Structures are given as structure tokens and as C-alpha cells.
A and B are shown apart, each in its own frame.
Chain A
Amino acid sequence: MRKFKEFLIEKLIFICGLASIFFVILIFLFLTKEGLAVFKYVNPVDFLMGKSWYPISEPAQLGILPLIFGSLIVTLGAAIISIPIGIACAVYIAEVAPSKIKEVLKSGIELLAAIPSVVLGFIGMVTLVPWVKTVFHLPTGLTALSGSIILAFMAMPTIVSIAEDALYSVPKSYKEGAFALGATHWQTIYRVLLPAASSGIVAAVMLGIGRVIGETMAVMMITGNAAVIPQSILVPVRTLTATIAAEMGEAVVGSEHYFALFAIGIVLFIMSFIINVTADLFLHKRH
């Protein structure tokens, strides 16, 4: 009887595991099938390198370069803001903060991670966007910069918690060894702990950035959604994700516009796949 129970549970878990893989493959197949159809209307080079995105004009222009640039500039901005702050915060929590402050900070970070992106987008819209507009004397505050700042808030919890974990799992004996040689706390952090935790920290950064690239709601609300190749970080941009979210509802099923949105999905999928695989490689290097 007990044996049978074990057997049943084992098989159930196996089927669940199989099902999740099956669904991933199904989604991927669907995405490819719908997405690749766009290349009947436009060749891949024109699709990726085309500078104009006018999907409903006649004939439709399906160049996603402005969207790729939009995603990249917003992501890059978010990375520049969140990486140094996130790592500094992780070092502070792991090494410097007294245990009470540490607990408070850790719960704060968890709380930040729990805020839904639409709420962050909304807060950004009513506070950050007007601020960016007045500080930089812009016609509109709906810019790539606003998006970057809000996305930095979304990347930070991931970066901080994983980087802190990486720092925490550096063997204590390294720290003792450095201290015993007369290293100061900062010398120990900078020359022993950070290098020893580097692969985990890189993984933290990659996962944080991965989250940013896929983010949709907040960027749609505050980046202005202009499908133009951005010349600076202070102009409205439109990202790959926002394009899909905004236009999928109105695209006629089976039209070239519809297929193009799926193809954008493939591009996104490949981007986040690369990022996640890189993060994984670094995480496994640790063990």
C-alpha cells in the first residue's frame, strides 16, 4: 500500500513536470508559427533594421528598429541606475548594517518587489513625470529617463537580494583571512568579498535586467510611446513590450500587423533567453 502511494506521488510529480515543459514548448511553437508568418510580407533584415513602424498604413511599414532602440535605451538607463545602487545596497546589508537595520532593509526590499508594476507606473506618472518635465525643461516628462528610473526600482529588489545572497555565501574563512592580514573592512569587501562573490553578483544583475526587459505596464504608462529612434534619453520612446501590449487588441487576426507583433514577441523571447542563460552560467560557476 505504501509502495503504491509512493509510486502514485512519484508519477504525479513526473506528470506535472512534464506538463510544464509541454506548455513551454507549446507556447514557443505557437509564437514561432505566428511570428515567422510575418516574413511572407517583409524580409527579416527590413523587419529588424527598418526605421519606421507604421503597421496600419497602406502599405504597412514594419521596421522595429525604433522599438529595439526604445527597449535598449530604457533598459540601459535602468541598468546604469540600478546596478551600482543595488550592489552598494547588497554590500551594506550583507556586511555593514547592524542586525536590526538589516531586517528592516530586507523587508523593505521585499515590499518593493511586491509592488505591482501598474502601481509603480501610476506613481511614476503622477510624481516622476512632472518632475522630469520641470527639471529638464522638456515639453513632456514622458521620456525614456522616466521609464529607466521606474524600471530601476523594479530591478533593484532582484539585484539586491541575489547579490546579498552571493556575498553572504562567501566562506567566512576568506573574510577572517583578510582581516588577519591587517586588511580594513573596506579592503576586505573590495578585494576579497566582491571578487569572490562576483559570479553571483553578475547573475543578480542579469536577472534584474531580465526583469526590466520584459516589463510592460509601467513603461507603457510613462515613456510616451513614440516609435521614433531616440536621439537622447530625454525624449519619448516606445519599447517592444509596450508595442505588443498596446496594439494586440486592435490588430486584425491573421493580418501582417498581427504577425509582426508575434515576431516582436520572438525577438523579446530571444533577448530574455540570452540574458537568463548568461545569468544561469554565472550562477552555476559558483558551485
Chain B
Amino acid sequence: MHNKIKMQAKDVDFFYGKNQALKNVNLDVYANRVTAMIGPSGCGKSTFIRLFNRMNELVPHTALCGKIFLDDLEINNPSVDPVDIRRRVGMVFQKPNPFPKSIFENISYGLKVNGIKDKAFIGQKVEDSLKRAVIWGEVKDRLHDSALKLSGGQQQRLCIARCLAVETEVILFDEPCASLDPISTAKIEELILELKKDYTIIIVTHNMQQAARVSDYTGFFLLGELVEFGKTQDMFTAPRNKKTEDYITGRFG
């Protein structure tokens, strides 16, 4: 493991009110690698991944102990503006959530909030992002139609394109294929493998085959604890922990 560490969670505890959702989690995310989080529903995967772009702050009455780093920056420090973090760490959600606007505006929105006004630049960027997310061919003739008319799989790739347009360094995927058909899922997995050249990727999935297919590192969560973390290959062939083995061989979960 001689890769550069891009993001890091150190001694992280997280609470929803009095309910502890994460217990003493330590995890390193390597640059230009895909790191997968697996585990049964409710074990804290979403809660964990949302710490990396400070998204949990939208939920009232939550508390975080411990530190999260992006490069050398301690991002959960109160002096850090979450907006700056989210411009470096993008996110794709479980349910595709395009804005109720046109396909074009869905992409240009992120550029506009980042202060970009140059129309020609925006037009070019929209095209590039859609091409990169492998959806350009399907939408190029109807850029000004509502994004809500697209299929679920197309909407999800549009959401990825939207995220690519703002040129973040890290992309968080929270079960991006949970509501998609197998063909769309395959397209998105392919895309993730392609994107890791330029991005650091963290993906939550409760589909173990998916973790095995796309990720370089895997973390297994159970009841808010990180039970095991390591290279995906090692984890799936020779898990160190009995619980991990039970989970990946399908004995529970």
C-alpha cells in the first residue's frame, strides 16, 4: 500500500441525537483508487460516506467526534467552509436526483454556482461532461428537454455528469445503482472504472459482486463499526475476520 492517501477518517464517532451510528472508525482512502463500503442495511455506510463532504450537517441534532482529512486539510474543522469542501468532493446519490430543469441546466447549474459566466465555456463543459459520463449520444438532440423525462439509468449518468462538470477531486457514490436495471448498472460500473484515472472514488454498495468488480479497497461495516478494511482481492479471497467471511459468503445480511 504505497499509494498516496487522499482522504482519511480518524477516530470517528457519529451520533444522531443520542443514537450512535458510527463507532471509532479509522479508514484511509487512497488517491485514484476505488474504495468500496459494504455491509448490511443500517450499518452506517451512508452516514460514513456523507462525512466526507459534510453532508450530514443538513441533518439537525447530529454530532461528530474525530477528524476527517482531505489531503492535509482537516475538513470538519469549524473554520472550514463546507461549500469549499463540496466543490472538491462531489456526490452521487442513491436515488437519481436531477433538478426539475432541462438536461443542459442540470449541468450548467454547478458551473454557475461556482461563479462561471462564460456561455461558450459552459456550453463546451456541458458537452464534455455528458460525453465523459457516456450519455451524450442519448441526449445531444434534446438538451433542453426536462431531465425528469430521462430513464432512471440516464438520470443517474446525468447526475454523474453534473458532478464531473464541477471538476471535483473526489466523488462519493452512495449506492448509485440501487434503483437501476442491470444494463444501466453495468454502464455505471464501467464509468466508475474509467473515472478513477482522474478521481478518487468512494462507493457504498450492498451488492458484494459490485464491490468485487469495481473496487480496489473494501471496508466492511457492521452496526456502526468498521470490522475489516483491506485490498478488495484479499478481503474476498481471504477475509481475516469471521464476521466478514460470514457476510461475503452470504450467511447473513
Contact B83–A180 (Cβ < 8 Å): no
Contact B93–A196 (Cβ < 8 Å): no
Selecting from B107-115, B201-209, B211-219, the interface stretch reads: B107-115
Interface residues of B in 97-153 (CB under 8 A from A): 97-101, 109-110, 112-114
Nearest CB in chain B to that of A175: its residue: B58
Nearest CB in chain A to that of B107: its residue: A181
Chain A residues within CB distance 8 Å of chain B: 99, 171, 173-184, 187, 191-192, 195-196
Give how many A-B residue pairs fall within 8 Å (CB-CB): 64
New contact pairs (20) apart from A181-B110, A191-B109, CB-CB < 8 Å = A99-B60, A171-B97, A173-B95, A173-B97, A174-B99, A174-B100, A176-B55, A178-B109, A178-B113, A180-B86, A180-B91, A180-B93, A181-B163, A181-B166, A182-B86, A182-B87, A182-B166, A183-B83, A191-B112, A196-B100
Q: Which of B58, B110, B112, B114 contacts A176 (CB 8 A)?
A: B58
Chain B residues within CB distance 8 Å of chain A: 53, 55, 58, 60, 83-84, 86-87, 90-91, 93, 95, 97-101, 109-110, 112-114, 159, 162-163, 166
Contact A195–B90 (Cβ < 8 Å): no
Nearest CB in chain B to that of A184: its residue: B83
| A86 CB to nearest chain B CB (Å) | 23
Contact B113–A184 (Cβ < 8 Å): yes
List A contacts of B87 (CB < 8 A): 182
Q: Which of B98, B100, B114 contacts A182 (CB 8 A)?
A: B114
| A103 CB to nearest chain B CB (Å) | 14
Contact A192–B58 (Cβ < 8 Å): no
Contact A187–B113 (Cβ < 8 Å): yes
| A3 CB to nearest chain B CB (Å) | 44
List B contacts of A195 (CB < 8 A): 100-101
Q: Which of B60, B83, B93, B166 contacts A177 (CB 8 A)?
A: B93
